[in-house]
Amino acid sequence: MTPPDVVFSLPFAPVKPRSLRLPCKHIERTPLTHGARLGSSRLGSEPSTATCSMETAAEHERILREIESTDTNCIGPTLRSVYDGQEHGLFMDKLDVRIRNHDREIEKMCNHHFQGFVDSITELLKVRGEAQKLKSQVTETNRRLQDDGKDLMGSMEELKQCRVQQRNIATTVDKLTHCLPVLEMYSRLQEQMRAKRYYPALLTLEQLEQTCLPRAGQYRFCSIMAENIPRLRTQIRDTAMTQLRDFLESIRKHSDKIGETAIKQVPGAQELVDFSPVYRCLHIYTVLGLREAFENYYRKQRRKQARLVLQPHSNMHETLEGYRRYFNQIVGFFVVEDHVLHTTQGLVNRAYVEELWELALSKIVAALRTHSSYCDDPDLVLDLKNLIVLFADTLQGYGFPVSQLFDMLLEMRDQYGEILLKRWNVTFRQVLDQDNYSPIPVSTEQEYRHYTSQFPQQDPELEKLPFPKKLPFSEFVPKVYCQLKEFIYACLKYSEDLHLSSTEVDDMIRKSTNLLLTRTLSHCLHYAIKKKNVGLAELVQLIINTTHLEQSCHFLEEFISNITNVPPDTANTTKLYGTSTFKDARHAAEAEIYTSLNAKIDQFLQLADYDWLAAVQGGGTLTASDYLVDLIAFLKSTFSVFTNLPGKVAQTACMSACKHISTCLMQLLLDPDVRQISLGALHQLNADVRECEVTGTVHAVGLVDLPGRLWKTHLQVPEGESSHGAGAAGEDEGDEQEEQRLCPIQEDGPRPTETHRRHHQAAAQPHRAAPRLSGPSARPPARTCDLIGSLNPNTSLRTSCRPFGLFRSASRLKRHWLRTKMERGC
């Protein structure tokens, strides 16, 4: 009876059942039968065995030993060697013999141990029952173990799965540790790109490419990211450049506001501009290795904008706003460049900024010279000057040299002075045209102080007079004086903030004031003097006005010294030329008085209508001609307005009038058209001259009576021929003979001599050398047409003059006339 097979599950290995050997008798029988079978099969092969050689036998023995000692898995080559040879039959015989020998040994061994085997079987059968019980117990134990092992196996399977998951999780965590930074960084990159934070995005991109992607490993998303990196760089570069272009366009449009803020001195003008596009683009191009290209591009674009900013508008000179906008744009441009210079490292350098400023300075100066030349408004020029000063001071605060601008302002000062002169020329002419050329009446102390506050009038005698009273000058004087001070103030305004010394300011004001006096005011005064409708009263008042203005020149000197704080006695101080200006104007007015007075006299004398062939009237006294009576009345009324003139001027005017009348009367006699003259005509002329003599004094102007002055000036006779008695007998006959000898005068006789023409010219312009009052022995000027003196120039003259009627007879006067005509070539 064989023991049952016991099979164990985990942890036990299954046990295969084995068969029990048969008793020895059975064992012996089987091999013997087999041996007998082998023996019977080899009976017929013995002859071949006997013929086997010794070498073959030894070889077969070796093979058998090898088969016995070698593992059955390795006997293949050995058996092949037997079959390859020709003696395999003999080998089979030897093999059978060897088997039989072993069988015999086995039988012997089995016979020897058979009883023990039987005993063992007997014991085994005894144990069989117990083994069955044990098998049942083992089976039950195995079942219970299997039941209990199911939970364990499940737990173990779960543990195995957990171990796998844990390993996978660890692997995943490790991979995610390297991948998550890539994803996070790429997400940050996308967010930065959306937020247009391109410089951080470029840094993130660089870190992603150089650090994170190599650590992440070979993943598909990593390769996609790596492929997108160049495209993202290009996108960032292009976007940054687009933002830079927008920035450049923005500051070009808003440079006006930037400059306006900077000029107003409000701190932080550069804060009006967002410079982040510049910094961002600079950093991006630096990271990309294109910094030099970016610097060149930025400078090129800013140079182009500088040329646009420095190009003024064609109508900029029309309004101050045009200049202000021009300056604001320039200041805004250089404020931006200065900020970029100090906040970037090398984008622009000092040499580049200075080069731009030199270009700008030359363009600015040229533009201002051109456009300011069109300006004719001094207020606009003054405002422009103040604007240029603010412009220069602002840029100087940013470190830019502005000396050329102040030099240009000094050039504009001359232009400003010329414009002021033009304006004051109009002002002076308006004052002269609107003046009534009458002394100013004042009725109250308040009015008097009003005028004296405008003009420094110092006349103690006038102040003592009771009200109402008159100031000696007209409204023209205080108005002109006030305008002179206004002009000085206007010049002073221009000199402010030009960084000039007090001496320079004083010199500038004095030179400009001299131009105003010697050129503008002088021309205006001459214009007023030469006007067609100006009368003698107006000319007289002009002389009085210029006299007072001349006296006020030292007050102007003090006024300029007070506002410039430069004493008038300082060395190299320019003096005012007002004295000479007013003197010249006064002399011109005086000459115009003489000319106007003579013109009026000529108008009266043109009415003279002498009948040179009139017959001698018998009986009665001849009356003066009407024209001469009117002329004397006119002179009386005219000289009455000469009261306030300086004595010398009044005397000269009177002398000029007397000389002109005398000359004109003489010209009537010496007229080449007068070919004949009668005694009746001479009697009438004699009566007119006597009228001048007997007429009383003209006016208390410090002169002798007009008729006496007239005679003393021209119509004088030699002492030897002055007598109230009749001449010697036969004297008249001699005169008649001489008259017959001298007359008639030929119609085609010669024209007046050059001396006559010079005398006529002297009569037309008596103001050039008006005769002075002479003493008893004074001789009349050689240029006067002295009728009698021309007959005998060597005869002395006397002061006790007589009219023509005091000659012995009219015939003698006629003889003298004829002789004079002959001597003069008439």
Looking at residue 670, what is its pLDDT?
Answer: 82
More confident residue, 520 or 659: 520
Cα(410)–Cα(494) distance, integer angstroms: 10
Q: How far is CA 148 from CA 7, 13, 143, 310, 619, in A?
A: 17, 17, 8, 101, 197
Q: Which of 448-462, 597-611, 616-630, 802-816 comes out lowest in average pLDDT? A: 802-816
pLDDT tens digits, 714-735 = 333 333 333 333 333 333 444 4
- Residue-wise pLDDT for 375-431, tens only, equals 888 888 889 999 999 999 999 988 899 999 999 998 889 889 999 999 999 999 999
Q: Which of 585, 591, 292, 214 has the alpha carbon at shortest distance from 432?
A: 585
> 265-279, 533-547, 779-793, 805-819: which range is least confident on average?
779-793
User: Which DSSP letter does residue 798 get?
Assistant: -
Cα angle for residues 9, 13, 16 (degrees, 5° grid): 105
**197 has a pLDDT exceeding 60:** yes
* Average of per-residue pLDDT across 200-208: 86
The answer to whether residue 286 scores a pLDDT higher than 50 is yes
The span from the CA of 435 to the CA of 457, in Å, is: 19
For residue 477, name the pLDDT band (cuts at 50, 70, 90): very high
Question: Does pLDDT of 8 surpass 60?
Answer: no
Instruction: Using a pLDDT cut of 70, give the percent of the chain over it.
Output: 76
Q: Cα dihedral sign for 239, 240, 246, 249?
A: negative
Does the pTM exceed 0.75? no
Identify the pLDDT of residue 481: 93
Please, what's the b/e burial string for 128-149 (b: 16 or more CB within 10 A of its CB; e: otherwise)?
A: eeebeeeeeebeeebeebeeee
DSSP three-state, residue 439: coil
Q: Decide: helix, strand or coil at residue 28.
A: helix
Mean of pLDDT over the chain? 75
DSSP H helices, 435-501, are 445-454, 460-464, 476-495
Q: Which of 60, 118, 66 is nearest to 92 (CA)?
A: 60
Who's near 742: CB < 8 A, 6+ residues apart? 815, 818, 819, 821, 822
Whether pLDDT at 17 is above 70 = no
- Reading the block at residue 336, the tokens are 């931006």
Q: How far is CA 334 from the centre of its chain?
A: 10
Higher-confidence residue of 778 and 263: namely: 263
Stronger pLDDT, 46 or 428, i.e. the higher one: 428
564 near 623, Cβ under 8 Å? Answer: no
Q: Is the pLDDT of residue 816 over 90?
A: no
Give the pLDDT mean for 680-693: 81
pLDDT at 360: 92
Q: Output the pLDDT for position 123.
A: 87
Whether pLDDT at 262 is above 70: yes
pLDDT band at residue 280, thresholds of 50, 70 and 90? confident
* Residue 497 backbone class (left: φ over 0; alpha: ψ -120 to 50; beta: rest): left
- Residue 484 CA to residue 129 CA, distance in Å, equals 159
- 524-527, long-range: CB within 8 Å, 24+ apart, which pairs? 524/425, 524/428, 524/429, 524/432, 525/432, 525/581, 525/585, 525/588, 525/589, 526/585, 526/588, 527/429, 527/432
Please tell me the distance from the alpha carbon of residue 765 to that of residue 591, in angstroms, as a whole number: 9
Q: Which of 179, 171, 184 is nearest to 220 (CA)?
A: 179
